[in-house]
Structure 1
């Protein structure tokens, strides 16, 4: 594939992703960004976690995670607590309110994606699914 084509694909993927993020931010009225939801999603899926582990997994800096987690704790979406055996170790955990918010965020995102992808025919959706499946398989390796 010609290098120009690869950059065209990357640019198109970025435009779609950016559009979805902008639309999600406009409709999701919780004064939280995508990064906050990613942290909450990590906590929901993995249980209590050390902030450094969350930062590493999500590709965030420790200082960014500190900022994000502070807002999540203030809003009652996550709690911060120390390890019973070593008080120097701090964990974050999601609250029931946080779980509900992640569910709401995912529903909003799903709705936005469905509206976008209804522009594609069934065959185009299957092609896109196949392409993304192949890309995801290569990422796992």
Structure 2
């Protein structure tokens, strides 16, 4: 692949992703960023987890996860619990309120993506789906 074409592809992909995040931030009125939602999604899917494990799985630094956790706990979207057998181990878990916010965030993300992909023809959507499948292999 020509270097300029590869650069354009990466640039346009990044631009699309950034615009999608900006649009989501404008429409989702919870004062949370995508990273907060990713943490809630992890907790919802995997249950209570050690912050160090969440950071590793999501590719975040421990200090970043600490910052995100503080806000989630302050907003009562997550709780910290201590391991009964080893009080040094702390877990982060999602609350019912956190699950509800995660659901609304997911619905808003789906709505945004649906609006964007409706701009494509059926054939273009099929091509894009095939490209994503190929890249995910």
Which bracket does the TM-score occupy, shorter chain normalised? Answer: over 0.9
Residue 55 of structure 1 is matched in structure 2 by: 55
Mapped partners of 1:42, 1:8: distance in 2: 33
Mapped partners of 1:122, 1:131: distance in 2: 14
- What is the SS of the residue equivalent to 1:80? strand
> How many residues matched?
137
Q: How does 1:18-97 map to 2 (within 5 A)?
A: 18-97=18-97
- What is the SS of the residue equivalent to 2:85? coil
Deviations 1:59-111 (A, max 9, x none): 11100100100110111100001111101111000011111111100100111
Give the structure-2-normalised TM-score. 0.98
Deviation at 1:8, TM superposition (A): 1.0
Deviations 1:39-59 (A, max 9, x none): 000000111100000001111
Q: Cα RMSD between the aligned structures?
A: 0.6
- What is the SS of the residue equivalent to 1:31? coil
Q: Where does structure 2 lack aligned partners over 5 or more consecutive residues?
A: none
Give the structure-1-normalised TM-score. 0.95
Mapped partners of 2:17, 2:132: distance in 1: 14
Q: Where does structure 1 lack aligned partners over 5 or more consecutive residues?
A: none
- What is the SS of the residue equivalent to 2:71? helix
The answer on 1:131 being equivalent to 2:109 is no
Residue 119 of structure 2 is matched in structure 1 by: 119
Deviation at 1:26, TM superposition (A): 0.3
- What is the SS of the residue equivalent to 1:30? coil
- What is the SS of the residue equivalent to 2:88? coil
Q: Which 4+ runs in 1 deviate beyond 3 A?
A: none
